[in-house]
């Protein structure tokens, strides 16, 4: 059974700092992994989708990596800004299934 | 439409009443999912629709929950005889195609319906 864990649960950093959010999954036979952002009281916004054949994806200041053998994905945010403050969720889809299993998220606060 | 639309955005209901939550997916998206997000917890899968195939209802927590998707587009999630533990944000997502159909483009989520049972 796939389980997804995100550590830390919460993180505060000063503006301008580079930071890494971590996501671990127990079943390495994943089809793909997706990172989302959730603002308070809002739905989820997709940030990056990494297929199992890929090692990383980049979008602007965001870079997500995937290491299936170790069961880990990281989301790197460069030059953080107060507008990056949100909860970041990762979700893994195991091969042969169609459900995404979500972690409980990392609540990020970037201080001005 | 331009995105996934959910209504109402907020719903307060009395314990024991029935509620209907609506999801209007992106036009042309064949796959539709319902998830539930309870306070302080991750997203919990509820149900999956793919085209005209029978839905996967394995995530529905009890027989008080049901969902349908009419014409392969709009979906309605119905909760009968609501209980306080049903209070949560109900999120709908759609995708251009379901897994195993030749592609997987991830999810696009709606803004959710916040349900409060008092």
For all residues of chain B together, what is the average pLDDT?
89
Per-residue pLDDT, averaged over B13-24, amounts to 97
Interface contact B107-A34, CB threshold 8 A? yes
Asked whether the predicted pLDDT for residue B102 surpasses 50, the reply is no
Which residues in chain A touch residue B100, judged by CB atoms under 8 angstroms apart?
98
- pLDDT tens digits along B92-101: 999 887 555 5
Helix, strand, or coil (residue B73): coil
Cα dihedral across residues A41, B28, B73, B45: positive or negative: negative
Task: Please choose, from the candidates A86, A84, A89, A88, the residue with its C-alpha nearest in 3D space to the C-alpha of residue A112.
Answer: A84
CA of B109: which chain A residue's CA is closest? A44
- pLDDT tens digits along A8-56: 999 999 999 999 999 999 998 998 999 999 998 788 999 999 999 999 9
A-facing residues of B in 11-70 (CB < 8 A) are 31, 33, 35, 40-43, 45, 48, 50, 56, 59
Helix, strand, or coil (residue A109): strand
Which of B6, B48, B109 has the CB atom closest to A99's CB atom? B48
Distances (CA, A) of B69 to A73, A75, A103: 34, 35, 28
**Count of CA atoms in the C-beta half-sphere (13 A) of B111:** 11
Which pLDDT score is estimated for B1? 53
Task: Please choose, from the candidates A68, A46, A97, the residue with its C-alpha nearest in 3D space to the C-alpha of residue B99.
Answer: A97
Run of H or E including A21: strand A19-25
């Amino acid at each position: 059974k796939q389980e997804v864990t995100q550590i830390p649960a919460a993180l505060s950093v000063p503006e301008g700092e580079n930071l890494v959010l971590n996501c671990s999954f127990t079943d390495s036979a994943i089809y793909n992994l997706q990172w989302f952002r959730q603002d308070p009281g809002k739905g989820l916004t997709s940030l990056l989708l990494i297929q199992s054949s890929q090692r990383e994806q980049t979008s602007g200041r965001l870079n997500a990596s995937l290491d299936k053998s170790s069961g880990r994905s990281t989301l790197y945010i460069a030059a953080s800004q107060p507008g990056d403050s949100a909860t970041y969720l990762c979700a893994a889809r195991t091969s042969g299934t169609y459900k995404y299993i979500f972690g409980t998220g990392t609540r990020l606060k970037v201080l001005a | 439409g331009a995105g996934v639309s959910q209504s109402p955005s907020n719903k307060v209901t009395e314990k024991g009443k029935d509620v209907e939550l609506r999801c209007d997916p992106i036009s042309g998206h064949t796959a539709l999912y319902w998830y539930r997000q309870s306070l302080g917890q991750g997203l919990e899968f509820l149900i999956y629709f793919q085209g005209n195939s029978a839905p996967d209802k394995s995530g529905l927590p009890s027989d008080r929950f049901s969902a349908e998707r009419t014409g392969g587009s709009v979906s309605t999630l119905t909760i009968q005889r609501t209980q306080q533990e049903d209070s949560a944000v109900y999120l709908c997502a759609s995708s251009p195609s379901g897994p195993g159909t030749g592609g997987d483009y991830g999810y696009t989520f709606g803004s959710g319906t916040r349900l409060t049972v008092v």
